[in-house]
Amino acid sequence: MSRILLFNKPYGVICQFGRDGLHPTLADYIPVPAVYPAGRLDTDSEGLLLLTDDGKLQHRITDPKHKLPKTYWVQVEGIPEETHLQQLRRGVKLKDGLTLPAEAQWLDEPTGLWPRDPPVRFRKTIPTSWIALTIREGRNRQVRRMTAAVGYPTLRLIRYCIGDWTLDGLTSGACAVREA
3-26 pLDDT tens trace: 899 999 999 999 999 888 889 999
Active-site residue set: 42
Mean pLDDT of 141-158: 97
List Cβ neighbours of 78 (8 Å cut-off, separation of 6 or more). 126, 127, 128, 129, 151, 152
0.85 exceeded by pTM: yes
CA-CA distance, 100 to 107, in Å (whole number)? 21
Is 3-64+164-179's fold the same as 69-162's? yes
User: Where are the domains positioned within the chain?
Assistant: 3-64+164-179, 69-162
64-98 pLDDT tens trace: 777 789 999 999 999 999 999 999 999 999 999 99
CA-CA distance, 174 to 12, in Å (whole number)? 15
Worst-scoring range by mean pLDDT, 56-65, 73-82, 146-155, 163-172? 56-65
Domain 69-162 part of CATH 3.30.1330.20: no
**CB atoms near residue 108 (< 10 Å):** 8
Mean residue pLDDT across the chain = 92
**CB atoms near residue 65 (< 10 Å):** 6
Residue 169 confidence (pLDDT): 93
Q: Which class is 3-64+164-179 in CATH?
A: alpha beta
Provide Rg for the chain, Cα atoms: 16
Angle at 69 between CA 58 and CA 86, to 5 degrees: 155
Question: Crossing angle of helices 82-90/142-149, nearest 10°?
Answer: 130
40-59 pLDDT tens trace: 999 999 999 999 998 888 88
Question: Quick one: what percent of the chain has pLDDT higher than 90?
Answer: 72
